Amino acid sequence: MNKIIFSLLLGIGAISYSASAQTATPTAAASTDTTALKEFAGKYKFEGLPFEFMEFSLKQGSLAVQAGDQGGPIAPVKDAVDKFETADSAAKFTFTRNEEKKIVKVKVEFQGMEFEGKKE
């Protein structure tokens, strides 16, 4: 059930993002700074979901998420640090740093549920 919901969310988010990307201008410096976005890229391990890993990568200068066989771009949340969301704001991704300021976790919020994954 969670996989179906999450797949639907990513599909809708990808379509919404694609439509809004054609008319929107960049709202944050982080969205165009691929060097800064690289630190979020990686494979994150989740428990209790239909898929074991969620992967974040750079695609065409933006951060994208892949969960199972579904995926799409995510955009930085304006005036927030280490937070991203789908174009329709249905899913939010909050990255956590350790003492050395390296990304170690991501928290995914979707339909009132929260899931946490650790960076591999």
For residue 14, name the pLDDT band (cuts at 50, 70, 90): very low
Residue 30: pLDDT band with limits 50, 70, 90: very low
* CA proximity to 84, closest of 28, 24, 2, 22: 28
The three-class DSSP label of residue 2 is helix
**How far, in Å, CA of 83 to CA of 20, rounded?**
19
Tell me if 44 sits within 8 A of 54, measured CB to CB. yes
Predicted confidence (pLDDT) per residue in 51-88, tens digit? 899 999 999 889 999 998 888 999 999 999 999 999 88
4-13, 24-33, 48-57, 91-100: range with highest mean pLDDT? 91-100
Domain at 2-119: CATH code: 2.40.128
Name the burial class of residue 106, with classes exposed (0-12), middle (13-18) and buried (19+) by CB atoms within 10 angstroms of its CB. buried
Rounded to whole angstroms, how far apart are CA atoms 64 and 6? 15
Q: What is the pTM of this model?
A: 0.74
